[in-house]
Structure 1
């Protein structure tokens, strides 16, 4: 969720001082990149899973405060919506059989959290957008009681000066206006972190951008919003529109959006932080007491609080992260592309596919991003979000291909090799990448299963709202089985 803030209103003097400290922090960060010792000896990975809460009828349950009190585990935190929670999985190294240990730990933790949630009459659901969420659910007390969220809402609407327009096409186009950022709360994702060295950051970020399209096509799990069938991964477009600080005039002028794929390949992590400072005004100008210049001069590691907070309000799909742990600075690539769910094994398969390909693509003598325009990578990303398994993706040497063909012919062997280079055990590679292979061969992901199931339920006589609720009930049954989504059956 990000750190909370101490206030929700900021003066002009606050904003001026914050801008000065962000610029100062950027200068210090540049110095650190050339002089400081960053922690990157082990390939540490991390994961965050955003979840939804539903009641016994599979409708959104605005109970996260009660559920979190019952769970009583600092790994679980609030998210924007009162029907959202977030599970932060502790970082760990990639090599060996750690993938199996991670699967067992995540399942055990989520099952324990589910049991605690049941005491409040709630259930936890891992899905990109809760299918039963409707406009009336976001008209009352939908927001978590955290100052950061109210401040973010107020800042976005101050910048816009008008209501947000949500307009998403697809099989059943949806158009509406919102006076709050409530639609953003519908977007629940899985975030993957990889700790890297300053020297290697650019190639890993570039590789992650290349992979965004194939990742989404394989992992799409958000076909419904407010009862409408929209994109295979509607979450991508909904998140972009729900947090857009630009009225139409600024869009026409070419002002960058806060939810951003980017516009160029990079040569250093500094490129991304410098763009963030140059292009984006502050949304949460919270000031710290730290003097980063003095901290660095004293031989200590600056936290760069203002720069980090600013970076946290620019929603790149692959975001650079600077953090300090035990007095040592480190850098991470945060991959924000994938939705949550459908199962733990599906999410770990997605992560194994990502980490393996990230390593394989980064190690190539002639990296794929030198053969692919940035615009083509972005087009793959949007096309995959819109069409999922039916997308046509461009890949150098293959031309335009479907995701299943690209995965089976090209990407899956590379992912195996990349994980082997990370030192991941063969049986771990085989289990998780076997799920990816099965998904590609059946051309079935969470999105295709949801759409096919709702269609079958409607054909059996259920109206759309009832079909969505019944589909979600069936989804939850299968989610707890931990059987990968490509083997899930559908109503006869």
Structure 2
């Protein structure tokens, strides 16, 4: 789930244990970085002339029997492409799609490039006996797979695991409701590695950041209802998008007493609409103790005074250990500072066309909504937006969403009546070609009209296979085999049929 994308920087942490001295120095540096960041927002020129979009896709590796393959280091060595990197679990890899402008026919080129890259990677993974799967949670993953040897080799992951458990002082209870409630104790952050997402990045100016972030928070519920693809975990049918609740619980640094006191969780929807990106960084510093207090040599005040762009490493590292579903990112590229909204709401999969449809929908609605004179968040409480998000994660296309002017509404009605026209208008403003809008928004329309997304297809298929006499584990493996076949066809999920 991009536990490694520490504020957009993927370098290794050097150590796993930190002295008190060290922690105090880190806290001082984080505060210093925050002050410098505030100055920069007022004075510096951020790069945003060309709105760039980027995408990260987290994938799972399975063997010939569609069970988790703990072989990412071998597979990555075979793929030998810097666009592919490790993730937390040894059965995960991440594919980074380089940022590009949105306008014109760029998305069609992107679709063929992503498919070609994934097909090439799949071919090379096959040499190691592995297949690549894009799905929110690997349905064949079971507790025994996460007992040992599940973690990628990395100081950072070990440091993160240790600091989360040091903060908690006890095992993590994973307790998720749904049709087949699951309740287990976890002694490591292993369950978190089960959550594989796709992340969408949008580079924006400091002046436009707050409007884009607020709009992204409003859209999060509908995004999830449409895109849910994680109904099974450890053999249980749970939420339509179980990944949301699993990720929240699996990285929780709070024992029960701190939860009762209202201490905020590391995986966080947030609690208010914002007026500046600074609000989010300030909340992060104010509410969250450090998990990885690594101190850099940079003096950000001196860098800024010398006319250079400070890296603000401590602030970025800290920001990277607070898992907002829409995360603010400060980054430096070619010596120029820039800001991004990183949308982490969606699961991976089912197909490349489905993922591009999800991203076209997001970028389109975001553009229209963020530019309205009386934006939606001025008429919607933050609590209602969060309620929509959780209801959509739990119930997918059966959720009930609250929407200003409509009251309580189903996702299909909301999408068809309000959001698809907004998405089309937003993409038109981005300068996206008509055929591109029609192709991808047509997929979203098809999903809304049929009420079928990855989660509903998975559930229907597993139930159909069980009715034919397969036990649950065999039904999950067979469903995953059929899923992979259809994933490679690149036909959108709402058109998929069940088992033959």
Aligned to 2:365, the other structure's residue is in SS state helix
Match of 1:474 among 465, 482, 491: 482
Match of 2:339 among 317, 331, 339: 331
TM-score by length of 1: 1.00
Match of 1:373 among 381, 384, 387: 381
Match of 1:396 among 404, 424, 429: 404
8 Å CA contact 2:364, 2:423 repeated in 1: yes
Q: Distance in 2 between matches of 1:486 and 1:7?
A: 47
8 Å CA contact 2:482, 2:499 repeated in 1: no
Aligned to 1:372, the other structure's residue is in SS state coil
Find the counterpart in structure 2 of residue 232 from structure 1.
Answer: 240
Q: Distance in 1 between matches of 2:421 and 2:157?
A: 43
Find the counterpart in structure 1 of residue 75 from structure 2.
Answer: 67
Find the counterpart in structure 2 of residue 136 from structure 1.
Answer: 144
Q: Does 1:447 align with 2:447?
A: no
Find the counterpart in structure 2 of residue 351 from structure 1.
Answer: 359
Match of 2:305 among 297, 316, 328: 297
Aligned to 1:194, the other structure's residue is in SS state strand
Find the counterpart in structure 2 of residue 222 from structure 1.
Answer: 230
Q: Does 1:191 align with 2:199?
A: yes
CA drift at 1:491: 2.0
Q: Distance in 2 between matches of 1:455 and 1:278?
A: 47
Find the counterpart in structure 1 of residue 368 from structure 2.
Answer: 360
CA drift at 1:43: 1.1
Q: Distance in 1 between matches of 2:425 and 2:356?
A: 17
Query: Gaps spanning 5+ residues in structure 1: where?
Result: none
State how many pairs are aligned: 492
Superposed, which structure 2 residues align to 1:39-118 within 5 Å?
Answer: 39-118=47-126
CA drift at 1:287: 1.0
8 Å CA contact 2:18, 2:293 repeated in 1: yes
Find the counterpart in structure 1 of residue 213 from structure 2.
Answer: 205
Find the counterpart in structure 1 of residue 328 from structure 2.
Answer: 320
1:55-83 CA distance string (max 9 Å, x none)? 00000000000000000000000000000
Aligned to 1:293, the other structure's residue is in SS state helix
1:120-143 CA distance string (max 9 Å, x none)? 000000000000000000001000
CA drift at 1:382: 0.2
Find the counterpart in structure 1 of residue 272 from structure 2.
Answer: 264
Match of 1:166 among 168, 171, 174: 174
Find the counterpart in structure 2 of residue 26 from structure 1.
Answer: 34
Q: Distance in 2 between matches of 1:294 and 1:69?
A: 41
Find the counterpart in structure 1 of residue 319 from structure 2.
Answer: 311
Find the counterpart in structure 1 of residue 295 from structure 2.
Answer: 287
Aligned to 2:270, the other structure's residue is in SS state coil
Aligned to 1:341, the other structure's residue is in SS state coil
Find the counterpart in structure 2 of residue 147 from structure 1.
Answer: 155
- Give runs of ≥4 in structure 1 deviating > 4 Å: none
Aligned to 1:339, the other structure's residue is in SS state coil
Match of 1:242 among 235, 240, 250: 250
RMSD: 0.5
1:450-480 CA distance string (max 9 Å, x none)? 0000000000000000000000000000000
Q: Distance in 2 between matches of 1:118 and 1:470?
A: 19
8 Å CA contact 2:221, 2:390 repeated in 1: yes
8 Å CA contact 2:59, 2:133 repeated in 1: yes
CA drift at 1:184: 0.2
1:185-206 CA distance string (max 9 Å, x none)? 0000000000000000000000
Q: Distance in 2 between matches of 1:287 and 1:116?
A: 39
Q: Distance in 2 between matches of 1:83 and 1:116?
A: 15
Aligned to 1:470, the other structure's residue is in SS state helix
Q: Distance in 2 between matches of 1:141 and 1:60?
A: 12
1:250-281 CA distance string (max 9 Å, x none)? 00000000000000000000000000000000
Find the counterpart in structure 2 of residue 419 from structure 1.
Answer: 427
Q: Distance in 1 between matches of 2:206 and 2:174?
A: 38
Aligned to 1:19, the other structure's residue is in SS state helix
8 Å CA contact 2:58, 2:93 repeated in 1: yes
8 Å CA contact 2:229, 2:240 repeated in 1: yes
Q: Does 1:428 align with 2:446?
A: no
